[in-house]
Structures are given as structure tokens and as C-alpha cells.
Structure 1
Amino acid sequence: MKNCSRPPSGVLSLVLAITVLASMPACAAGDTVETIVMVRHGEKPAAGLGQLSCQGLNRALALPRVIESKYGKPDFIFAPDPARQKNDSGTKYDYVRPLATIEPTAIYFGLPVNASIGFSRTDDLHATLLSPQYKSSLVVVAWEHKIIEALARKIVSDAGGDAASVPHWASTDYDSIYVLRITQNEDKVKAAFSVEHEGLNHRAATCPGA
């Protein structure tokens, strides 16, 4: 009977390495992928107040684990400047709602929040997110839903995609997550868009400890 010996351990390791590499998704040399995860602020009180309701606070407190399980640890977090006032149910208030929503996430991951951009300054937010320093990063953005919708459409359109692929964000929807994955290679940019969900509807309407 012919004796069939095993290949040397070095050869076996090389074969296994080649097999693993062959099974991985192809990625062109030099590609960079930036993932932008955009969430709306949590639920608000009837009077607005620029603030969260207790239900919105409970959403904010549960959000860090959702971000972690879906995307891992962010590299950067953005929220609008809370000192910029917004008309909320007919009265202007300092707009702290998005920052209050994302603060538990920033605290959980030990990260600062970039809150230097006014909530309505879509062009400034767009330019900042697409600047070179973020092109290989996971960026979480907490903002106002109409601004998120407009921003996502602009990024998709600028990358040659169909802006209409970004759906309307309903005023009653606090649970959606708009995700953009931007792949850059030299002068070519592609943007893949998807809608995901936090799964945090129907949180308690009473504040923690109440």
C-alpha cells in the first residue's frame, strides 16, 4: 500500500492561509471605506423645548449597545451645536436634543462629540464628513431627521447614485438608521446606502428612577 504522508507544517499553513484569503471579499488595493451611521434624536415632549422626553432619554440610554452590536466602536461622533437655537413648536430653544441622544453613546465608548456645526448647516456637515481625515473611519452622526435625509441624498447623488434611493424620513419615525458606506479609490467615489433600525420603539415613557 502506498504511503501518503502529510505535507510539512509550513506548507500546510501556507495552504490554509491561501484558502482563507481566497474566501475573503475582494477589495481593490488602495480602497478606503468610510461608514457614516446617521441616527435621529430621540422622542421629544409635546412642547418641543429643544429637549428629549423621558421616552427619548430611555432610547438614548439603550442606543450605545445597538451601535456596538451593529457597527462596533465608532471612531468619531457628531451632533449639532446645542447653542444654535431652533424653532420648536413655535418657540425658539437651544437645540440640545441630538446631543442629549448621542451623549450616552459617547460616554459608553469614551469618545468626545464634535458639536461645532449648526444643525441647519448641511453643506458644512457634508464637507466635514467627506474630508480626508474621516475616509477610513466609522462615524456616527446624531442630527435632525430632515437634515439627515437631505445629507444622505446629496452624498449618494454626488457619488453618481440615485438620490431617490434615499427614502423620505417620516416625522413619526425615531427608529431608523441611515447608513452610508463610501468607497474611495484615487479619484473614484462610490456610495452604498441602506436603512437599518435601532429596534428601540416603545421604550418606557417614564424617566429612569421616577
Structure 2
Amino acid sequence: MQMLLPILVGGIAMPNKIFVMRHAEKMDDPNDPNLSEAGRARAQALVKWFPEKFGRPDFIFATSISRHSERPIQTVMPLAENLGLPLNSTFADQDYGALAKLLLTEPKFAGKSILVCWHHGNIPSLMNRLGASVGTYPDPWNSKVFDLLLEADYTEAGQPKVSQITESF
């Protein structure tokens, strides 16, 4: 496998790819912060599907637990555990700007592959802060869509190339 060198934008080394996904399916009860049975099955399917399709991510992020939701963590925790990666859940849902700034400026993320699991309401704003062009990602995100993954590819100079990938399960 060819090693890609990080792209420099304004003297800053960029990640190679940032994958952004919504958490898996939720319970019908709006007060239940957990994944539904279908959501737990989707989280388990990610364990095999993501690495086979995209390779092993270097870092995994999920929004922090709130009184309304633990779903982003529950969605990617099985993958993180299977790969032996720590799961960073220090950013609250509204802190997408701080997360984007960290991912795009911190040298340890240069040339790396990063998976982010977020709430659908703030994914468009997160993508905007990651430099993605308007129109390359759903805005607003359809509240019924749980199987879409956005791939922001930074391996060329300029704005990331965004691909929308539907999970195959």
C-alpha cells in the first residue's frame, strides 16, 4: 500500500480523510438515549464493514454523552474496541467547530484517517467547518437516514472532495 504524504494547505498539514456519519437507529421513545435493536445491529456491522471498505482509521471521535443521547458513542464503540483504538468523546454536539479546528490544525492528525460519529442536526455545520463545499453533503440531513457515510478526502490541495457512501447493511 502506497503511503500518502499529508497535503499542506496554508502551511498546515491536513488529514488524508475524515469520515463523518450519523449515529445508528434510535429507539421510538424520544426520551430514550440508546440505540434500538436495529441500531445495535448496525453498530456491530460497522466492525467488519468499515475496515474492509476504507481500512483502519487512525482516530475515532463521537459526540459526548448527553441526557438525550448516548447513540454516537454506542454506534462506534464496538468498532473502536475491535480495533483497539481509543474513542474520543470529549466534544459535545454543539462543539463541532472546535472539533473541526482540532482535526484540521493539530499535527498529529496530518496524513491520517479519522472517523467521526455525530448527531444529524449538526453534521451539515460540521462538514462546513471541515471545508466541504455546500451541496456536497445533505443539508439538512434527513432525520430518517441512518446509513449514510460522508468521506471528505483531503489528498488533493484545496477543498476536500466529498463522497456520499450508503452503507451496505
Query: Normalized against structure 2, the TM-score is what?
Result: 0.84
How many Å separate the matches in 2 of 1:176 and 1:54? 18
Pick aligned residue for 1:56 from 31, 34, 39: 39
The equivalent residue for 1:127 is 101
The equivalent residue for 1:42 is 24
The equivalent residue for 1:69 is 52
| Greater gyration radius | 1
How many Å separate the matches in 2 of 1:33 and 1:102? 20
Work out whether residues 41 and 101 of structure 1, in 8 Å CA contact, stay in contact via their aligned partners in 2.
Answer: yes
The equivalent residue for 1:175 is 147
Work out whether residues 18 and 151 of structure 2, in 8 Å CA contact, stay in contact via their aligned partners in 1.
Answer: yes
Work out whether residues 18 and 115 of structure 2, in 8 Å CA contact, stay in contact via their aligned partners in 1.
Answer: yes
Q: Map 1:21-170; keep pairs closer than 5 Å.
A: 31=7, 33-48=15-30, 49-82=32-65, 84-85=66-67, 93=68, 95-131=69-105, 132-156=107-131, 162-168=133-139, 169-170=141-142
Compute the displacement of 1:47 (Å): 1.1
Per chain length, whose mean CA-contact separation is higher, i.e. which structure has more relative contact order (CA < 8 Å, sep 6+)?
2
Work out whether residues 6 and 155 of structure 2, in 8 Å CA contact, stay in contact via their aligned partners in 1.
Answer: no
Work out whether residues 153 and 166 of structure 1, in 8 Å CA contact, stay in contact via their aligned partners in 2.
Answer: no
What are the ranges of 5 or more consecutive residues in structure 2 without an aligned counterpart? 8-13
Letter in 2 for 1:34: N
What are the ranges of 5 or more consecutive residues in structure 1 without an aligned counterpart? 1-23, 86-92, 201-210
How many Å separate the matches in 2 of 1:30 and 1:110? 24
Give percent identity, aligned residues only: 28
For these two proteins, the number of residue pairs brought into alignment is 158
Provide, for residues 87-127 of structure 1, a one-character-per-residue CA deviation record: whole Å limited to 9, x for no partner.
Answer: xxxxxx3x211000001100111111011111111211111
SS at match of 1:39: strand
CA distance 1:54–1:30, shift in 2 (3 Å):
closer
Provide, for residues 146-180 of structure 1, a one-character-per-residue CA deviation record: whole Å limited to 9, x for no partner.
Answer: 222221133235xxxx3123223211110000110
The equivalent residue for 2:10 is none
SS at match of 1:141: strand
Runs of 4+ in 1 over 3 A off after TM superposition: 29-33
Letter in 2 for 1:61: Q
Compute the displacement of 1:30 (Å): 6.6
Letter in 2 for 1:146: G
Compute the displacement of 1:135 (Å): 1.9
